[in-house]
Amino acid sequence: MATTAGACFFAAGSFQAFRPSPRRVAATTKTTARFAEMNVEGTRKGLRDYFEESKVMIKSDGGPPRWFSPLETGARSHDSPLLLFLPGIDGVGLGLVRHHYSLGKIFDIWCLHIPVKDRTSFAGLIKLVEKTVRSEVKRSPNRPIYLVGESLGACIALAVASCNPDVDLVLILANPATSFSKSQLQTVLPLLEVIPDHFHLSLRYVLSSMTGDLLKRVSGILVRGQTLQQTVGGLCQDSVALPLYLSVLTDILPQETLIWKLQMLKTASTFVNARLHAVEAQTLILSSGRDQLLPSLEEGERLFHALPNGEIRRAGDSGHFLFLEDGIDLASAIKGSYFYRRGKYLDCVSDYVPLTPSEFNKLNLILSPVTLSTLEDGMIVRGLGGIPMEGPVLIVGYHMLLGIELIPLVCQFFIQRKIILRGMAHPMLFVKLKDGRLLDSFPFDQIGIFGGVPVSAVNFYKLLSLKSHILLYPGGIREALHRKGEEYKLFWPEQSEFIRMAARFGAKIVPFGVVGEDDFGDVLLDYDDQIKIPFMKSIIEEFTNSVGNLRTETRGEVANQDLHFPMFLPKVPGRFYYYFGKPIETEGRKQELRDKGKAHELYLQVQDEIEKNIAFLKEKREKDPYRSVLSRLAYQAAHGTVVHLQWQKLPCVKNGNYH
């Protein structure tokens, strides 16, 4: 057993993997801590680290393929599932170097390293992974095993899944090489075999695929909050290092190895395409739009339709080496598409993984939302100091257009109080449509990352039992997809749906109002407009029938559940304002609130509080000098701080009256 920078090796031996011993783990504790400290926000590893660490790994290369565990992983829970990373044609096994820390918090990561001079066949690699999978299934029979593969590794993952339909596997495939026969690599192979001088040109072609699009890298770095000076400095360092990259790539893929790997890609593609019908595993396909080596976008669509349990996510501006690029967060992609589970079945309540700083800092910086809450004595304070820490707590409020207030709200609860707010969301965000596709859109993936749970009595009961802080919108999809001129209007059902359940658990109810959607855009085509256009009407009907109606027994306007997407004209962004009223106690009122009349009175009280809160915010935001994003950015550029609402004096609320 040997160690190298940032990794703990354990040999595969006769295609058998072993976990690091407790002694080895203890011996590397300090190294683990050091790498963990390095992986704080803003110091995430990148392409340069990939090449630097690859140099170390291939120095004393030799022997058979083997597994290694990265040391810079986070502190995971005891029931974390196993993740096996299967590399592409480079074979180094460091393709997830940018993601080791974030993935390590939720997975037990093993990476496959294939030495440069190793000539294990594709069938041999399948056997290696298959035996490892079988061994680990015996150790943890009730946990899934994740196979994450890129190009060649994706083919290995598909092959293993096709040969082991009885094993609970989850496949994450980045730009699978199943499209080899349609790629430009098909023409490179014979040239390499007959024209040795073509070798360095081929490596430069591979290197250009790894360094990616310059404009995309600049924008990705700037979005992370680095200054222009830091951005230019980083790019200059990478430019100086390009000759080094080519030198290391020559060591990773010498001519004989490159030819061997390309021949293996050809074999792998043929083998897997013949067995796709046997793949039943849950599969997430990640397709790059600018892959210079493979036609990955088209191949992703083909695999999506060929695999019965496949989902697809597209990275339109990314190149072949997807996991090494800026702006790609694999942990967030897995969580957002609801592919993360610890058991045989997904439980949206218990399988949720809390937010990471990278998942909320960007939004908080751009939106700079204002939060106000009410203390027990009726005083309004900045921030969320009036929110009870001990659950269960129901945060009940108004749903803005398309639910755009939800993610900033969840962020604020986490930033200010370290409270994980679990939102009850419409099932359309979780179920497959009739063609098998989940809604493939950034906003919908964010629902999963930020803790959304399908609204149902069972999930509501689970969250209350766990004493959670639950975000609830009685107006549901009708409020979120409201018509022109309906901003800030509540559409609640007639019956009090949540009051008696809250009283059963003694939950506190916090009514809140939110304003700001009218500062982000104006609705151009609403439901009433779209339903008059024949082709849009058919789309609405097909979409609604695919998802189904949630409130089939509800009467009134809230029962209008036809699903559509309002078209709106964006504005220069403004700001969101949240105001949380005084918590309403239900503890000790279980018997009282069993009475439908009493429950309905409390229901109307909550509704009335929300309407008052909205009116209060609409009036007070007029005095905010930093309501526009332009004025906030100017202030932040000059002072380097996030601006808070500049009210000279906050009013107080006593006996329901504002002063």
What's the CA gap between 414 and 420, in Å, rounded? Answer: 6
Tokens 């009961």, residue located: 461
Radius of gyration of the chain from its Cα atoms, rounded to whole angstroms: 27
pLDDT reported for residue 496? 78
Average pLDDT over residues 66-74: 81
Of the given ranges (167-181, 205-219, 343-357, 465-479), which has the lowest mean pLDDT?
Answer: 205-219
> Is 643's pLDDT higher than 50?
yes
According to DSSP, residue 419 is labeled: -
Torsion of CA 357, 360, 362, 367, to 10 degrees: -140
> Is 640's pLDDT higher than 80?
no
- CB of 146 closer than 8 Å to CB of 289: no
pLDDT in tens, 77-131: 678 899 999 999 999 999 999 999 889 888 999 999 999 999 999 999 999 999 9
Extract the tokens encoding 283.
Answer: 């599969």
pLDDT in tens, 352-386: 666 665 555 655 656 678 999 999 888 999 999 99
Extract the tokens encoding 489.
Answer: 């209007």
- CB of 593 closer than 8 Å to CB of 503: yes
Most trustworthy range by pLDDT among 181-195, 350-364, 440-454? 181-195
What's the CA gap between 468 and 447, in Å, rounded? Answer: 17
Crossing angle of helices 255-273 and 122-139, in 10° steps, is: 70
pLDDT reported for residue 160? 98
Q: What residues contact residue 55 under an 8 Å CB cut-off, 6+ apart?
A: 248, 251
Tokens 């949380």, residue located: 580
Q: Which helix (H) or strand (E) holds 83?
A: strand 82-86
Neighbouring CB atoms inside 10 A of 313's CB total 17
pLDDT reported for residue 363? 59
CATH architecture of 3-336: 3-Layer(aba) Sandwich (3.40)
Distance from CA of residue 59 to its chain's centroid?
A: 36
> Is 215's pLDDT higher than 50?
no
Name the residue with higher pLDDT: 215 or 238. 238
Extract the tokens encoding 616.
Answer: 């209060």
> Is 205's pLDDT higher than 60?
no
What's the CA gap between 155 and 180, in Å, rounded? Answer: 11
Average pLDDT over residues 149-172: 96
pTM over 0.85: no
- CB of 336 closer than 8 Å to CB of 200: no
Neighbouring CB atoms inside 10 A of 261's CB total 21
Angle at 42 between CA 41 and CA 44, to 5 degrees: 85
CATH, range 357-522+573-658: 3.40.1130
Tokens 């809250």, residue located: 502
pLDDT in tens, 372-422: 999 988 899 999 999 999 989 999 999 988 888 888 888 889 888 989 888
Extract the tokens encoding 364.
Answer: 């908080």
Question: What mean pLDDT is reported for the chain?
Answer: 78
Extended beta strands in 249-290, E state = 282-288
pLDDT reported for residue 574? 86
pLDDT in tens, 497-550: 789 999 999 999 999 999 998 888 888 888 888 889 888 888 888 777 766 555
Average pLDDT over residues 331-351: 77
Helices (H) and strands (E) counted in the chain, each on its own, are 23, 21
Q: What residues contact residue 32 under an 8 Å CB cut-off, 6+ apart?
A: 71, 72, 73
Extract the tokens encoding 151.
Answer: 């190009």
Name the residue with higher pLDDT: 212 or 203. 203
Average pLDDT over residues 213-237: 44
- CB of 82 closer than 8 Å to CB of 145: yes
DSSP structure string for 515-534: E-GGGTEEEEE-HHHHTTSH
Indicate the domain borders of the chain. 3-336, 357-522+573-658
Angle at 556 between CA 552 and CA 557, to 5 degrees: 95
pLDDT reported for residue 464? 92
Extract the tokens encoding 569.
Answer: 């004209």
Average pLDDT over residues 598-608: 94
pLDDT reported for residue 508? 96
